[in-house]
Structure 1
Amino acid sequence: MEVLVPFSTDRPKSRLSTVLAPDERARFARAMLLDVLDAVGAAGGEPCVLATGAVDADLPCPVTIDDRPLTDAVNAALDARLGASGAERVAVVMADLALATPDALRELFGAGREADLAIAPGRGGGTNAFVAGHPAFEVDYHGASYLDHRRIADEIGASVAVVDSHRLATDVDEPADLAELLIHDEADDDEGARAPRWLREAGFALDATDGRVGVKRE
């Protein structure tokens, strides 16, 4: 199954600007992207990065450049595959799902083989990952896109499976999300996923001094 991984090279992770400088945000975003690509490949998917520009990283998969807004770029990619080439299923997995594991993605892919649309909602009502098999399905990433995608599926008569997964629901956008990445990292300091390792090497650590778990930079 081909898995499109949208990735923005234009001011990546701007909502982390209070804790990371622009060059740090770029490096951190690339670390998350590589972790997601590793997880997709280990889950049996065939990743392809859908980037807004050239990616400054050694990627293990093809890159398609489309500088249009996310909704337009993904819809064009879906139409080229489900509509024109006749692919049976196409997945889209966001590049900031740094907690994604092969097991979580295999669950999504499995659900997508049974339903016309398998969708993993984000914590704030967004759409973090999905598998589409209906040629008439289109995305709309504005606002609460999970609800919009359920509505679109209903309008075209597509069956829907919802994959409720903490690891797929957690996209790293805000400073508070960095704590989730460090909490759920299962590797030792010098091993494992790139993104949590990058955070530790940049001086970030968990902090619960105010009664809530967050991060601090040493």
Structure 2
Amino acid sequence: MKAVIPYKKSSAKSRLSPVLTRKEREEFVELMLNQVIDTLKEAGIEKIDILSPSMYGLENMKKANVLLDKDDLNEALNRYLEQAEEPVMIVMADLPLLSSEHVKEIISTKKDICIVPGKGGGTNALFIKNPSSYRVRYYGSSFLNHCSIAAEFEQNFEIYDSFFAGTDIDEPEDLVELLIHGKGPAKEYINKKFRLEISRGRVRLAPI
């Protein structure tokens, strides 16, 4: 089996722009990408592809194979799945709370497909045993899309319910979860810039 990580560094994570500059966001996404790659390798997945529209930030990548595709995310991934001859795990690059144990559990599913939902109806990961018999449709409520597509292609599926695997880092409030629950370079980077502000209400992010 192999894993593929869609990735774009240029002007990444615009929704974090209220708290991080463009340069900081690009540094941060690179750290998260490398952390996800390390997690996959710890889980025993050695064949890892990065699917990107540009080589920007990937010029010195040695941990994984880089594939360039300038098409829309769905077109690029579906082309990738069509050509795959072994099970594929699609993993988003912004999952610093994902652990190797999560990955092992996801790929050990007895079903044809394992879907890992993200916040707000998104999909953080997909494990597809028969990739040429499946298509992805990200954006919008991709989780519901992926459940429907599995039924359409007569593939049975399992939903992997996990707070950590389900926490993708998109908004400033997501950084709170990283500071509370995270570890590794991504957390260390954010830890140098922010602290947790604890009051009677919810825990909030505050600059150092």
TM-score by length of 1: 0.89
Percent sequence identity over matched residues?
Answer: 35
Gaps of 5+ in 1: 187-192
Going from structure 1 to structure 2, the CA distance change for 1:56 and 1:10 (only over 3 Å counts) comes to: closer
**What's the CA shift string for 1:93-140, capped at 9, x where partnerless?**
0000111000111111111xx221111111211110011123221000
Distance 2:97 2:71 in 1: 27
What is residue 216 of structure 1 aligned with on the other side?
206
Matched, 1:126 2:122: yes
CA contact (8 A) 1:9 1:52 kept: no
Corresponding residue to 1:67 among 63, 70, 83? 70
Tell me the CA shift for residue 210 of structure 1: 5.9
Paired residues in the alignment total 204
Distance 2:101 2:171 in 1: 25
What is residue 51 of structure 2 aligned with on the other side?
50
Distance 2:144 2:49 in 1: 26
Matched, 1:163 2:160: yes
CA contact (8 A) 1:10 1:52 kept: no
Corresponding residue to 2:170 among 168, 173, 179? 173
CA RMSD in angstroms comes to 1.3
For residue 168 of structure 1, give the secondary structure of its aligned residue in structure 2.
Answer: coil
Gaps of 5+ in 2: none
Distance 2:197 2:53 in 1: 35
For residue 167 of structure 1, give the secondary structure of its aligned residue in structure 2.
Answer: coil
Distance 2:80 2:93 in 1: 16
Distance 1:197 1:179 in 2: 13
Tell me the CA shift for residue 196 of structure 1: 0.5
Tell me the CA shift for residue 47 of structure 1: 1.8
For residue 119 of structure 2, give the secondary structure of its aligned residue in structure 1.
Answer: coil
What is residue 90 of structure 2 aligned with on the other side?
92
Tell me the CA shift for residue 9 of structure 1: 2.4
Matched, 1:101 2:99: yes
What is residue 40 of structure 1 aligned with on the other side?
40
Tell me the CA shift for residue 56 of structure 1: 1.9
TM-score by length of 2: 0.94
Tell me the CA shift for residue 205 of structure 1: 1.2
**What's the CA shift string for 1:131-162, capped at 9, x where partnerless?**
11232210001211111111111011101011
